[in-house]
Chains A and B, each alone.
Chain A
Amino acid sequence: MIVNLGYTALLLALICSLYSIISARVYINNNKIQWVDSSRNAVLAVWFLLTLACLILVYLLTNEHFEIEYVASVSSRAMPWYLKATALWGGQAGSLLFWSWLMSSYTGIMMLRDWSNERDLQPYVITASMLTLAFFVSLNVFVENPFNVLWIDSFGNITSSMMRPDANLMFTPNDGAGLNPLLRHPGMIIHPPMLYLGFVGFVIPYSFAIGALAVGRTDGVWIRATRRWTLIAWLFLSLGLLLGGRWAYDVLGWGGYWGWDPVEIAAFMPWLTGTAFLHSVIIQEKHGMFKRWNMILIILTYALVIFGTFLTRSGVLSSVHAFAQSSIGPLFFIFITVTFTISLLLLFRGWESLASSKTLTSWLSREGMFLLNNLLFMGILVACFWGVIYPLISEIITGQKVTVGPPFYERTTGPQFAALLLLMGIVPLVAWRITTVNRIGHLIWKPTMISLLIPIISIISGIFNFAALLSLWLASLVFCVTIYEFYRGSIARSKSSGNSFFISLWQLISRNRRRYGGYIVHLGIVFMAVGIIGVEMFQTETQGTLAIEERMSLEDYSLVYKDLTEYPENDGRFVTKATLDVYKNNKLIGELEPRRDYYNISQQRMTIPDVYSTLEGDLYVLLIDWKPVGPQQATFKVYLNPLINWIWIGGFLFILGTLVATWPDQRDRHIITNNKSILQPF
C-alpha cells in the first residue's frame, strides 16, 4: 500500500541521516575522501526520500484518502485542490514532515557547492545539520506519523496506527474535518512555508559555525561561505512575519497586525538575533573583530529557531495560536538542552583563539556603534524572552502564574527600537576606528535640519504627543541620512567618472550591493515605523446601528447603509453581506461590502472586514450584527487606521533591499565562472 511506501521512505530517510553522520565521523578519523563523498550522497538521498514522502502525503490529501488519520483531520471534500495540497502543512504531523523536507532541501543544495576550500569543515557541517534533521525526521517516524491509518474494532472504537490491530477493520470516514476556515487565506497558505524556510535556513550558518569551532578555524571562512545563506534565511523569516501580520489584518477582524502573542514572539526572537548577526559579521569580515559575538549570535539564533518550533508545536504556553497539544514537548526540550550545551562547550574551548586582533576603545566609532546595535538587539531579545518565560518561572518560584501582556512588550522594546532608529540614522556617517562629535556633527547637521521638518509639520497640524513626535523625527532622520548617503555616493561617483547622476546611482548600488541593499532595508524600516506610529498612536474607532439610508461618521469619512443580502455560496458558506456608500468630506468615493461568512460544517463564523484603503489610512469596516426581518437594521464597527499602508509599502522595500543585498555581486559571478568544479557535484 502507498502509505507503507511513504512510511518506509521516512524510515530510510532517518537511517540515511544517521549514516551520513557516521560516515562523516569516519572521514574525520581516517581522512579518506570517499567517506565524506559517501556522507554527502547520503544527505542527497535523504532529500530524495523526504521528497517522496511529501509527494505521497500530497497524493493522499488530494485524492481524499480519509482512511489516513492526518488526511481526515486537515482536509475535506469541499476544499479546492490547492487547499488540499497545502494542507500538507495544515496540521502537526504534516508540518513537521514539511519542515524536514525544506531543511533537507537546504542541506542538499549545500552539498552541491564546491567544498575544496572548506573540506576540513565539511564533515562537521554535515554532522551538525544532519543531527538536527535526524531529530525532526525521528519525530515523524516515532511520534507524529503522518501516515497513520484509522482502524475500527467491533465495539466501534476508532484508533490510528501504522499496522492493523487484531480484530480491527480499516475505517474510512465519509468526509474529513477540513482545514479551519480562518486558515483558508492566501496569506495563510504561504505564511508557514516562509517562516519554516527562514527557520531552517539558519541551520546552515550554524552548522558552519560549529564546524569552524570544531576544527579550530577562527578566520572568517564560515561567515563568507554562509553570507548568502544567512541573508536568504533572514529574507524568508522577514517575509513570514510580514505575511502573518497581513493575514491578521485581513482576516482576524480587529484591525491589528501584531498582538505580542507568545507564538508571534517565538518567530520574532530568532529574527532579532539573526538581524544582529547580519550586522555583526560585517565587522568580522572587515576588521577581524566580534568573532565571539558572531559565534554567540548564531548559536543563539539556532537555539531560538528550535525553541520557537518547540513553543508552537508543544502547547506549553497559552496562546491564541491554538496548535494541537502534543507529547513531543519533552523531546524538544532534551534536544535543545543537548545541542545548546554542546555548542557552548565548543565555544568555550575555542574562546581564547577567538580573540579580536584589534581593541575597541571608543563608542564613537563605527565598530563601537555596531556593538551598541548588538546590545540593543540583545536587549529587545531579553525583554521578549523574559515576557514569554515569565509565567513559567513565576509559577515554579511562587506557585502562582503571573503574566505580562502587550503593554510590557511595548514599554520595554519601544525605547530600544527608538534607540535603534537613532543608530540607523547616525552610523552611516560615523568613521571606522575613532571619530569625534564634531566630525559627526559636521556631516549630520544638514540631514538633521531637513528631518526636523516632519515633526514641525506635525505640530502645526495639531499633534502634540511627545512620543509620536520623537519617533516621527527619528524616522525622518534615518530617511534623510540614508537618502543623503545615496546622494553623496552618486555625486562623488558621477564627478570622477563623468557619468550622469542616475547611471552613477545605479553603479553605486550594483557595485556595493550589500551596503546599499542594507540602506534600502533601512528605508523600508522607516516606512514601517511611520505606519506603526500612525496605527498605534492615532487609530480612531466608532460603532453604530444603522437603518437603511442612515449615516454614521468618523473623522472626514461617513458611511451610508444601503442594503443587506444573504445567500449561500457553493463552497459550504452562507454569506451575509452589507453594502455601504463611503463619503469623504461629503463626496461619494466608493462602496464597501463587509460581510459575515458562516461555515455550515464546522459551525464557524468568520467576520470579513472591507477596507477603503489609501496612503493616508484605511477605513476598516466590520459587520457586527443585523436584523433580517422587520425594519432592516445592521450594526457596524468602524476603525480609521492612519498610515497603515506604509507598513506594507515599507515591507515591500524591506524585501526588495534584502534581495539587492542577496543578489550575487559581479565579482562573485566572476569567481563562479572561473571555478567549474561547482558544477560537478558527484
Chain B
Amino acid sequence: MTLYKEPTTQSNRQRNKFLLGGFLIISAIIYLIASTTQNTSKYYYTVDELVVEQTAAIGENVRISGAVIGDSISYDADNLTLDFTVAHVPGDSDEIVAKGGLARVLHEAIANPNQARLRISYQGPMPDLLRDEAQAIMDGHLNEDNIFVADTLLLKCPTKYEDELPNQTNN
C-alpha cells in the first residue's frame, strides 16, 4: 500500500529523498513517545500491594488509589500540610463492578478494619472533594516511616455526579 501513485523514473531520486524524510520524521516521533514512556511511567499499585506485598521500593515514584477515611483527615492550615489515611480498594475496574460498584466498594473498604491501610501526607490546599468515602488517586513515594508522600492528589466521589438511588426521606 502506498499513499502516492507510482512515480516516473526521473523523479525517482527526488521521491526517495522525500520518503526518507518522512521515515525520519515518523521515527523521531515514535522514539520520542517510546523514550518518554520509559522515563515518565509509574506503576499503579493498590494499597495492598504497597503495604502488604511491599512491591515498591522506598522513594520509588508510584501511583496508588484508596478509599479516604473521613475521621483520619487532619489539616494544618498554617503549613498547608494535609494528613489522612486510605483503605485498600481493588484496582481492577471489573472487580469493582462485580462487587457492586465504586460507591459500595469504597464504603465497605472503610467499614472493614482488616483492610490494609496507608497514611498519606500531602502539601497544598485541601481539595474540596476530600471527604469520607471518596476515592483518592495519588502520585508520590513511600518514605522510611511507611508514610506515602503524595505530590499530586486527585479525588473522585462516585456519588457526586449521579446518585444511585436517592436517600429515603419519605415512605
Contacts and interface: CB of A to CB of B under 8 A. Distances in A.
A180 B160 contact: yes
Contact of A91 (B3, B7, B157, B162): B162
Interface of A: 66, 69, 72-74, 90-92, 150, 152, 156, 158, 160, 172-177, 180, 182-183, 253-254, 292-293, 315-316, 318-320, 322-325, 351, 355-363, 368, 371-372, 375-376, 379, 382-383, 386, 390-391, 394, 400-405, 407-408, 411-412, 415-416, 543, 545, 602-607, 622, 624-625, 635, 637
A139 B108 CA distance: 31
A412 B161 contact: no
A322 B133 CA distance: 14
A322 B167 contact: no
A324 B63 CA distance: 23
Given A319-B156, A400-B43, A404-B42, 16 more contacts: A69-B165, A73-B164, A176-B166, A180-B161, A318-B137, A320-B137, A322-B135, A351-B1, A359-B8, A360-B18, A362-B18, A390-B37, A402-B42, A411-B36, A416-B29, A416-B32
B125 interface: yes
Contact of A412 (B14, B32, B101): B32
Contacts of A411: 32, 36, 39-40
A403 B4 contact: no
B107 interface: no
A177 B163 contact: yes
Contact of B41 (A174, A362, A402, A637): A402
A375 to B, nearest CB: 6
A637 B166 contact: no
A325 B161 CA distance: 11
B125 A622 contact: yes
A177 B128 contact: no
B71 to A, nearest CB: 15
A361 B166 contact: no
A445 B162 CA distance: 58
Contact of B139 (A92, A177, A359, A405): A405
A156 B4 CA distance: 69
B5 A402 contact: no
A604 B128 contact: yes
A356 B77 contact: no
A390 B40 CA distance: 12
Nearest to B102: A325
Nearest to A434: B14
B5 A368 contact: no
A407 B44 CA distance: 16
Nearest to A71: B166
B85 interface: no
Given A175-B169, A625-B75, A73 B160 contact: no
Contacts of A402: 41-44
A73 B162 contact: yes
B33 A173 contact: no
Nearest to B163: A177
B9 interface: no
A99 B17 CA distance: 48
A167 to B, nearest CB: 15
Contacts, number: 188
Contacts of B39: 411
A425 B20 CA distance: 24
Interface string B19-53: 00110011001001100110111111000000000
B33 A372 contact: no
A400 B64 CA distance: 12
A415 B40 CA distance: 16
Contacts of A602: 160
Nearest to B49: A400
A72 B166 contact: yes
Contacts of B171: 152, 156
Contacts of A545: 77-78
A180 B134 CA distance: 14
B14 A408 contact: no
17 contacts: A174-B169, A318-B65, A320-B156, A322-B158, A351-B1, A358-B5, A359-B5, A359-B7, A375-B29, A379-B29, A401-B91, A402-B44, A404-B37, A407-B40, A415-B32, A604-B128, A637-B124
Contact of A173 (B36, B154, B168): B168
Contacts of A375: 22, 25-26, 29
Given A351-B1, A386-B33, A408 B18 contact: no
Contacts of A407: 40
A158 B168 contact: yes
B93 interface: yes
A401 B41 contact: no
B97 interface: yes
A411 B168 CA distance: 50
A322 to B, nearest CB: 4
B57 interface: no
Contacts of B168: 156, 158, 173
Contacts of B162: 73-74, 90-92, 323-324
The interface centre, meaning the residue of A253, A322, A404, A411 with most chain B CB atoms within 10 A of its CB, is A322
B77 A625 contact: yes
Contact of A177 (B96, B102, B124, B167): B167
Contacts of A358: 5
A315 B93 CA distance: 8
Contacts of B169: 173-175
The interface centre, meaning the residue of B39, B78, B125 with most chain A CB atoms within 10 A of its CB, is B125
Contacts of B32: 383, 411-412, 415-416
Contacts of A371: 22
Contacts of B3: 292-293
Nearest to A624: B125
A173 B39 CA distance: 53
B170 interface: yes
Nearest to B132: A603
B14 to A, nearest CB: 4
Contacts of B154: 320
Contacts of A293: 3
B155 interface: yes
Contacts of A362: 14, 17-18
Contacts of A543: 80
B131 interface: yes
* 9 closest cross-chain pairs (CB), A and B: A625-B77, A401-B44, A379-B29, A177-B163, A322-B156, A408-B40, A635-B77, A174-B169, A361-B14
A359 B37 contact: no
B5 to A, nearest CB: 5
Contact of A359 (B4, B22, B163, B166): B4
The interface centre, meaning the residue of B93, B124, B166, B168 with most chain A CB atoms within 10 A of its CB, is B166
A408 B36 contact: yes
A292 B1 CA distance: 11
B41 A412 contact: no
B23 to A, nearest CB: 11
Contacts of B21: 363
